[in-house]
Structure 1
């Protein structure tokens, strides 16, 4: 086997693994920690979804849009819809750039789409949202989004929330509530 043949085989296995993960649909919680950075996996799943023709929405809370888009080629970047809660999440500057209704309203709006077809919603990150929103409200919103009743007539979106370990306050309660 040549080195390039081995690389192709390894890439094929990674692609199959990403396909398997995305094929599960629904809510897929991506945990990261000091030992293992999860944003790379999140971005790999986003890229795979975009390449398969899905609509991909990113609720960005922790890094700038520019930083998040780094590493994606222009074809992928053109397929991403970035909802920016990093720059001015609470709309303190009153520039009108912040999304009305905040992150929860943005999550709900992502499901009310006009284009048919599958949708992937990435949350970067759920940890930030847990620090700024009531745990119960956030759980209810994610549960509604990940079930058929949130998108009548459509397949529910794939949700890819990134969460940092150790968990923020109420984190253990959040995970147990989300699992119900």
Structure 2
């Protein structure tokens, strides 16, 4: 059984927009670096937007080939543009201001190298971008990255973003998930076993194929040396239903009986209801109506409404 997570990371299972949801309990940045390493083998350039930390911190530990293909966009050092005169951002990185109206596509165009056809984008993370701008503006920017016109001089083949799901409400997460072809929720596995024996965390994957089929899978994962991903299959599904708990019987210790025995049920069925008369005609499908007027009834055929006070 093939690993869906490994296929998505390696690019054999295409996903143009991948969003990794993490929380304060378990970071998805290790998985993000696995995507970064695999992207370097498939595309001409990788545009890294760093909003949670400096680009150098995110690139620490990556191989030289990966670093050579990365075009950094620093939105961490001076996110509001207060220190433009001090040149606090390294010259090899492009300054990104969160308050600017400039879209992500425009930043990519400014830093794109000549002759670069296929480009991938990595965003760490969407959370500051959403908080400083808005969820609709962020969704519009993500959509523009993957829907460039065919006449454009470059194409963005994949966008991989990290988002802190415990910061945003459900409406924001649903909006981002609607744009994503792949949504990966990461969670921690509290184990002290070696990473090659037990997973460091779990991935709950929802992957939308181009055909319209939606795959949902839960896999364990670990990150080895040089950000090689290790997957663990055969995990129990998250939506398995547990056995219902035994509910106590509230009528068990009562001093009176609330239920009927079989003989009592049969006797109840044989009781003739009042104001009815059983017909002696045993022919099926036929019936008769009997009306027996009381002594107080004074029915006048010529005036049926005589008893009404009109």
Q: What range is the shorter-chain TM-score in?
A: 0.7 to 0.9
Query: Match of 1:31, SS?
Result: strand
The aligned residue for residue 87 of structure 1 is 77
Closer, same or farther: CA 14–31 of 1 in aligned 2, 3 Å: closer
Distance of 2:5 and 2:135 partners within structure 1: 34
CA apart distance, 1:152: 3.0
Q: 1:96-115 to 2 correspondence within 5 Å?
A: 97=89, 99=95, 102=98, 105=102, 107-112=104-109, 113=112, 114-115=114-115
Q: 2:174 aligns with which of 152, 173, 176?
A: 176
Between the two structures, name the one with larger relative contact order (CA 8 Å, sep ≥ 6): 1
Q: 1:135-154 to 2 correspondence within 5 Å?
A: 135-149=135-149, 152=152, 154=154
Between Structure 1 and Structure 2, how many residues are aligned?
166
The aligned residue for residue 65 of structure 2 is 75
Compute the TM-score of the two structures, normalised by the length of structure 2. Answer: 0.47
Contact 2:19 / 2:163 at 8 angstroms: preserved in 1? Answer: yes
Contact 1:121 / 1:160 at 8 angstroms: preserved in 2? Answer: yes
| Structure 2: stretches of 5+ with no match in the other structure | 180-310
Distance of 1:27 and 1:177 partners within structure 2: 13
Contact 2:148 / 2:155 at 8 angstroms: preserved in 1? Answer: yes
CA apart distance, 1:111: 4.5
Distance of 1:136 and 1:17 partners within structure 2: 27
Query: Match of 1:51, SS?
Result: coil
97-106 or 24-33, which deviates more: 97-106
The aligned residue for residue 129 of structure 2 is 129
Distance of 2:15 and 2:95 partners within structure 1: 27
Contact 1:111 / 1:151 at 8 angstroms: preserved in 2? Answer: no
Q: Does 1:34 align with 2:31?
A: no
42-51 or 154-163, which deviates more: 154-163
Considering only CA atoms, is the larger Rg found in Structure 1 or Structure 2? 2
51-60 or 123-132, which deviates more: 51-60
| Structure 1: stretches of 5+ with no match in the other structure | 1-11
Distance of 2:134 and 2:43 partners within structure 1: 34
Distance of 2:16 and 2:102 partners within structure 1: 19
CA apart distance, 1:94: 2.2
CA apart distance, 1:104: 5.9
The superposition leaves residues 112-165 of structure 1 with CA deviations (integer Å, 9 ceiling, x where unpaired) of 344332211011001111111122111111112122438736544311110012
The aligned residue for residue 19 of structure 1 is 10
CA apart distance, 1:175: 2.8
22-31 or 49-58, which deviates more: 22-31
Contact 1:111 / 1:145 at 8 angstroms: preserved in 2? Answer: no
Query: Match of 1:28, SS?
Result: strand
The aligned residue for residue 158 of structure 2 is 158
- Name the structure with the higher helix share: 1
Closer, same or farther: CA 176–150 of 1 in aligned 2, 3 Å: farther
The aligned residue for residue 252 of structure 2 is none
Distance of 2:116 and 2:33 partners within structure 1: 23
